[in-house]
């Protein structure tokens, strides 16, 4: 399975505009649900192709795995969006911020394709109004899916080529879907 062989390339301005859109969308959700915890889910994939059939498949598979981690009755809202800049989703949940973060990190680490996902967890009640980090909860930092080193280091040092990263993703996805 080759993930990045089709799809419309997104340029940096589109990706940045989407980032602004997301930040505003999250603020609006926090206003609408001031007591709840909000999970913002997106893929963490390099390059300019952010959406195609394979990418949608990976995302929706992860989306359902993540939802399974929470009790259905605590979920207030589920929004799955098919954006050109990539599929993304939001879950509004009546769940403690820390518990939601712990469940999300477990999904990112333990589920085979979890490292391809970014789940940000936030609530209006959180003091900073911002997102909870792994390190603030004493959880391990995110690992690079190519070499297992801290992902931030590999990103900063640009340790891996685009081809290496795409290959690692293809291998991971092929192993998972068995194709």
**Between 36 and 146, whose beta carbon lies closer to Zn ion?**
146
- Decide: residue 62, CB within 10 A, 0-12 exposed, 13-18 middle, 19+ buried: buried
CA dihedral (64, 145, 101, 3) in degrees, to 10, reads -30
Q: Which of 102, 139, 147, 168 binds Zn ion (CB under 5 A)?
A: 147
Does residue number 146 form part of the binding site for Zn ion (CB under 5 A)?
yes
What is the C-alpha to C-alpha distance for residues 36 and 133, in angstroms, rounded to an integer?
Answer: 18
Does residue number 154 form part of the binding site for Zn ion (CB under 5 A)?
yes
Site residue total, Zn ion (CB under 5 A): 6
Q: Which of 36, 41, 144, 173 binds Zn ion (CB under 5 A)?
A: 144
- Decide: residue 55, CB within 10 A, 0-12 exposed, 13-18 middle, 19+ buried: buried
Does residue number 38 form part of the binding site for Zn ion (CB under 5 A)?
no
CB of 143 to Zn ion, least distance (A): 8
Which residue has the CB atom at the shortest distance from Zn ion?
A: 144
Interface with Zn ion (CB under 5 A): 144, 146-147, 149, 154, 159
């Amino acid at each position: 399975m080759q993930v990045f062989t089709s799809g419309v390339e997104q340029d940096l301005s589109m990706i940045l505009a989407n980032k602004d859109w997301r930040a505003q969308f999250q603020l609006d959700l926090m206003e609408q649900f001031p007591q709840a915890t909000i999970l913002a889910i997106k893929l963490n994939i390099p390059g300019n192709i952010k959406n195609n059939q394979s990418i949608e498949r990976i995302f929706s598979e992860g989306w359902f795995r993540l939802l399974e981690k929470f009790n259905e009755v605590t979920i207030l809202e589920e929004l799955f969006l098919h954006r050109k800049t990539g599929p993304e989703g939001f879950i509004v949940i009546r769940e403690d911020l820390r518990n939601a973060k712990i469940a999300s990190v477990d999904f990112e680490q333990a589920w085979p394709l979890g490292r391809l996902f970014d789940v940000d967890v936030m609530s209006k009640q959180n003091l900073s109004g911002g997102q909870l980090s792994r390190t603030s909860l004493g959880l391990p930092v995110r690992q690079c899916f190519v070499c297992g080193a801290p992902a931030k280091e590999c990103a900063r040092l640009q340790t891996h080529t685009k081809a290496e990263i795409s290959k690692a993703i293809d291998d991971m996805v092929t192993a998972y879907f068995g194709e």
